[in-house]
């Protein structure tokens, strides 16, 4: 049976993210079918009949060993409509974000791995362009889109985690004073973070109930 998609097929490509005190990383996997068999790519699926885009994004993350229980949030970003983006035929790509729980560790397998934004392997299709285009979109959603930001930080987070996540998506250093003001607008103090070394403990923040 041919794996050629139907005309005007819609694929859902998942930008799967993990955020922690070192920043954010993107999940890529090796394709198990042509085209680009064995190449690194974002996990993606064809949108099923009657399927919600976020459900398809979660299903796509499963191709890189992320179970639905490990997903802390998902949402739509932007559509890519370059006619020649897929060698099998015209395919629209709905780029989505999928955040995973911070403690997620992938099974010991060589077909999926976390990569840094600035150290991406060569990717199949137009996935390098997708990541380049959605990175600033994701950075703009931080501290303005509650669902996205909470999915990355978890229900409680330290300032150093917030700083690392923000700088990794922005691709540059950010002003800590401005960041603190952004956090104060949406989160509430939950006490002191665990002490590390001789310095004063930082602030522990949490997301208030709606």
Whether residues 156 and 127 share a domain: the answer is no
Same domain for 181 and 79: no
Which of 122, 154, 169, 144 lies closest to 28, judged by CA? 122
- Please check whether residues 71 and 174 belong to one and the same domain: no
Query: Is the domain of 105 the same as that of 167?
Result: no
Q: Which of 128, 156, 127, 151 is nearest to 141 (CA)?
A: 151
Residue 144 counted as domain residue? no
Residues 87 and 178 occupy one common structural domain: no
- What span, in angstroms and rounded, lies between the C-alpha atoms of 190 and 173? 26
Determine how β-strand 91-100 pairs with β-strand 9-20: parallel
In this structure, are 57 and 158 located in the same domain?
A: no
Both 100 and 168 in one domain: the answer is no
Does any domain span residue 140?
no
pLDDT at residue 198 in the model: 63
d(CA 152, CA 162) in angstroms, rounded, equals 9
Do the domain assignments include residue 197? yes
Q: Do both 28 and 72 map to the same domain?
A: yes
Query: Are both 102 and 202 inside the same structural domain?
Result: no
Give residue 5's pLDDT: 53
**Same-domain status, 53 and 113:** yes
Range of 156's domain? 150-206
Report pTM: 0.91
Has residue 142 been placed in a domain? Answer: no
111 and 13 in a common domain: yes
- Report how many domains make up the chain: 2
Q: Is residue 3 part of a domain?
A: no
Measured in degrees and rounded to the nearest 5, phi and psi for residue 161 equal: -70, -45
Of 79, 102, 134, which residue sits at a domain end? 134
Alpha helices, DSSP H, located in the chain = 53-61, 127-141, 146-153, 159-170, 176-186
Q: Is residue 143 part of a domain?
A: no
Q: Are 32 and 123 found together in one domain?
A: yes
**Residue 54 in domain:** yes
Sites in the chain below the pLDDT cut of 70 = 1-8, 105, 107, 195-201
CATH of the domain at 30: 3.90.79.10
pLDDT in tens, 67-92: 999 999 999 999 999 988 899 888 89
Which of 76, 104, 134 terminates a domain? The answer is: 134
Residue 197: predicted pLDDT = 58
What angle in degrees, to the nearest 10, is found between the helix axes of 127-141 and 159-170? 140
Q: Report yes or no on 141 lying in a domain.
A: no
Of the three residues 72, 101, 134, the one that is the final residue of a domain is 134
């Amino acid at each position: 049976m041919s794996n050629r998609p139907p005309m005007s097929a819609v694929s859902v490509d998942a930008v799967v993210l993990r955020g922690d005190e070192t920043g954010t990383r993107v999940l890529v996997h090796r394709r198990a079918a042509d085209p680009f068999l064995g190449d690194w790519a974002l996990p993606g699926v064809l949108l099923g009949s009657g399927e919600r885009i976020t459900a398809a994004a979660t299903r796509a993350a499963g191709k890189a060993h992320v179970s639905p229980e490990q997903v802390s949030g998902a949402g739509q970003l932007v559509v890519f409509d370059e006619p020649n983006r897929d060698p099998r035929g015209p395919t629209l790509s709905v780029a989505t974000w999928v955040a995973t729980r911070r403690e997620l560790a992938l099974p010991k397998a060589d077909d999926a791995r976390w990569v840094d934004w600035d150290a991406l392997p060569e990717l199949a299709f137009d996935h390098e362009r997708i990541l380049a285009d959605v990175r600033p979109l994701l950075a703009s959603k931080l501290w303005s889109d509650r669902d996205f930001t909470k999915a990355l930080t978890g229900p409680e987070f330290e300032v150093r985690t917030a700083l690392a996540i923000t700088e990794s998506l922005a691709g540059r250093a950010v002003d800590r004073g401005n960041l603190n003001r952004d956090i104060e607008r949406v989160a509430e103090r939950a006490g002191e973070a665990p002490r590390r070394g001789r310095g004063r403990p930082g602030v522990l923040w949490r997301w208030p109930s709606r």
